[in-house]
Amino acid sequence: MKLGTILGQVDHGTLLLPEFQRGYVWNRDQVRGLMRSLYLRYPVGGLLVWETDTSSASVRGSVSGSGGTKQLLLDGQQRVTTLYGVTRGKPPEFFDGDSSAFLNLYFNVDHEIFEFFAPSKMKGDPLWIDVTELFVWGLASQFAKLTAQPELQPAFATYAERLAWLYGVLEREFHIEKITGGDKTTDTVVEIFNKVNSGGTKLSKGDLALAKICARWSEARAEMRGHLDSWDKAGFDFTLDWLLRNVNAVATGRASFSALDDIEAGAFRNALDASVKCVNHFLDLVGGRLGLDHNRVLMGRYAVPVVARLLHQQGGQFADAAQADRALYWYVQAALWGRFAGSTETVLTQDFETVERAGIDGLIRALERWRGGNLVIDAEDFEGFGRGSRFYPLLYLLTRVGGARDLGSGILLKAQLLGHLASLQVHHIFPKALLYGSGYSRGEVNAVANFCFLTQATNLAVGKRAPEEYLAECESKNPGVLASQWIPTDPALWRLGAYRDFLAARRELLAVAANDFLGKLRGGAAASTAPRLERLTVTVEPEDDGDARDAEVPDAVEELVSLGFARPKLDCEIADPETGRVLAAAEAFWPDGLQVGLGAPVVLELDPVGADLDRLTELGYEVFTSVHALHGYAIRRNEVAAGVRAED
């Protein structure tokens, strides 16, 4: 079928996307590469469509007519979307992504290259032709522009031929394979889709479940995205899969998404509303009681569906403040020990069954058995490093609930007391530059036990001063302020040479404080009198002049994003999906590939000594141990996509 005919089907709503398809993820280099290949008449692959009655599957896009057979695009979404966007100057109806990837593409009739508009290079140069204008207004319009330039007349015939050759891609024949037959269910088609798209990220069970739900309730995805957007504005980054887990918990009390197969649209809508209320109630409790009020410190996300199930059983509320505290105790402990880091569905199944039988007390007992009877935090548990460590949120929690005071002003770190200064900064007690200069490793420099939280004013005042200088001054000015932040008060430990001993001593203090608070949570004795914690903003302190990589990572991330790659998770723990064991505390992690749905997960790990790189590789992750190597890989990938470099 000719490309022009295919694009016409998109115009008329007879070529659509099935709901389970993910959005548009190509970047500008891939767009350039496709147009270059078409211009050179290189092979660009065929298309795979599912020919079906639209009542059999949920679709994205405007469906024309009152029914009949439609073509649902399975393989070729990125190519068709790109070509539609370039030739029409707008995205198709089914579009979900960043349209800037295919807008403002230009073609140089002299050098026969494609580039995106750059004013300094192209403005006023008649040799650069707007590709979209060519397809929208036709050849005659472009020929007129060329003939209006006397200096181009000697080469006019050549340029006109090249433009006609480019315009002729609309006549390009695409081979189309079709999946037909009334016996083809969404499950079958998704299985075929995953086999065809083996080079990318496969559709999850959640994707399939949501596709089936959307077939019964077309607004389901939009409704769910609306809730995700609301949480995003509140500072929490959740996924559709995670929200669907919560809905499944409320609707069925089961972990397997197949449990949703028989849920009618109305029942699903009610379960969605109920689950959102349960989640909001718990988030409010976690923030107000524990201070875990933003995305960085919200640990144990897959424990939330279990709590949502418990709340739903009780009409959306905890029985009393003591039960709420016990639920928080279980939640924190489950998060700290990676209860859901392995086989999430298996663990959820076990915990849902426990909720049905024995409620929150049963969950706590089950967690104790899973941990071999040990839910006590040891000093060694605080040996992690970076804000991706599981114990970083616990340090923040203790700061919020434990009466921690600002080292400079001595005031409690509570929003209502900080007033207009209601924000905190993560502070390295021993400055990074000082430690790097003395040969300490990156892991030691960024040890959780070297972190504390200060107001911005105090952090600026402390600057890069040595602990033996400023800690004594802080304690003298505000007696007891060091103990309030679990900082050893022995001046001998403040010396640079005693840094490792300082970390060990502080870990001991933090473990005692953690066990004390968690014990009170489990007992529920102080629940009714606990003050509500107001929300605070937390930022990272300005970078010290120490390890250049501290600045390299955010700079590299922003450059990769500007090149069309996805924004990664930063300072992220990566756990083994089978055992829950921490494999790395990555500086950056792209769980769905540099481009969502295209390629393997990518890990940037700058401290390979402390990571299990072999296991990461075995699991199919692409691991980079330097910013330079990752950057080079991304650039090479884009150059290959643009057709300016051969594949290695």
pLDDT digits (tens, 9 = 90+) for 231-263: 999 999 999 999 999 999 999 999 998 899 889
pLDDT at 325: 95
Residues of the chain with pLDDT under 50: 544
At 184, give phi and psi (nearest 5°): -85, 105
pLDDT at 54: 60
pTM: 0.83
Token pair belonging to 291: 């201070």
Q: In the block, which residue shows the tokens 């050849």?
A: 139
Contacts of 209 (CB under 8 A, 6+ apart): 244, 248, 257, 258, 260, 261
> Could you give the CA distance from residue 586 to residue 624 in angstroms, rounded to a whole number?
10
Q: Count the Cβ atoms, other than its own, within 10 Å of residue 195.
A: 9
pLDDT at 192: 76
DSSP designation for 572:
E
pLDDT at 472: 95
Contacts of 151 (CB under 8 A, 6+ apart): none
Of the candidates 534, 533, 524, the residue with the CA atom closest to the CA atom of residue 321:
524
Helix H or strand E encompassing 405: none
Q: In the block, which residue shows the tokens 């003050």?
A: 531
Instruction: Tell how strand 602-604 and strand 622-624 pair up.
Output: parallel
Region for residue 553 given its phi and psi (left: phi exceeds 0; alpha: psi -120 to 50; beta: otherwise): alpha
pLDDT at 219: 85
Token pair belonging to 365: 């007992």
pLDDT at 97: 85
pLDDT at 505: 97
Helix H or strand E encompassing 575: strand 569-575
> Could you give the CA distance from residue 379 to residue 505 in angstroms, rounded to a whole number?
9
